[in-house]
Amino acid sequence: MSLSLREIETLLSQLPWRQFQTPRLQLEQYTTPVHLAARIAHHVALSVPAKERGSQLVVDLGTGTGVLAFALHLAGFDHIVGVDIDSDALQLAKVNAEKLQELCSTSAERPVDFALMDIQTSSLALTGAPFDIAVLNPPFGTRRHAADVAFLEVACRVSRRLVYSLHKSTTRGYISKKLERLGYAARVYAQLRFDLAATYAFHTRRSVDLEVDLWQVELK
């Protein structure tokens, strides 16, 4: 199955848990909004030839309620593992998975395998580099500055082929330098807009659009 950007967005917007309703600020957790998830999935899909998509093993690190993972499935990826540290979020992801199957009869049953895990290096519960593609939706480093780079390093370790990660555009220089120092070939693949207002209550008075970079790291 490989749907268009518009079809993916339409399906995702009908999921019951598009955002995690009670974000825990300490984890800086949010779920990628629908329009952004659809675009990221579209970009990732375009970088892999259509006939290869179904045989890639993909991990969504910080999957939350699974929106990006489901977007990737709708874009043609069949083997996706979604990991998150929050069991409540994964419960909602399961509800989303059931709804998706209802909405989209061609969607595989249980297209995403979920696991509870802390993706910090010290507590990572994954062996070697089992994945072809890692997609990372890290905290934006507003509270814990180095956190997103630490997660990015983990993403690069568990993947063999490609890593996609979202970072505030204002951190472009910093991320670029870090990745270069780590020896990774990376580039800003696309610039996207993220609406934080939809997630955090304290931002609801005014819309806070955030420019974000979708980074692509090519491994090997």
Partner 1 sequence: MRLLTHNLLICPVHKKPLAIRHVTSVDIIAVEYQPQFILRMIPRLDWSLLREAALAVESDCIDALPETPPRPQELEFLESTNDEVERPPVMAALQRLLLETHVVVGQLHCEHGEYYQIDEGIPNLLADAAVYPSEKVSAQASGAPVDEETAIPLDEQTGS
Q: Which residues bind to partner 1, rule: CB under 8 A?
A: 54-55, 57, 78-79, 81, 85, 87, 90-91, 94, 108-110, 113-118, 123-128, 130
Nearer to partner 1, 102 or 180 (CB): 102
As measured in angstroms, the least distance from the Cβ of 194 to partner 1 is: 27
Nearer to partner 1, 90 or 156 (CB): 90
CA separation for the pair 186, 61 (Å, rounded): 18
As measured in angstroms, the least distance from the Cβ of 124 to partner 1 is: 7
**Cβ atoms of residues 188 and 214 within 8 Å:** yes
As measured in angstroms, the least distance from the Cβ of 90 to partner 1 is: 6
Helix (H, G, I), strand (E, B) or coil at 165: strand
As measured in angstroms, the least distance from the Cβ of 195 to partner 1 is: 29
Count of beta carbons in the 10 Å neighbourhood of residue 161 = 19
**Cβ atoms of residues 167 and 188 within 8 Å:** no
The answer to whether the Cα torsion of 179, 180, 183, 186 is positive or negative is positive
The three-point CA angle 88-37-23 to 5° equals: 30
Nearer to partner 1, 38 or 119 (CB): 119
Nearer to partner 1, 25 or 116 (CB): 116
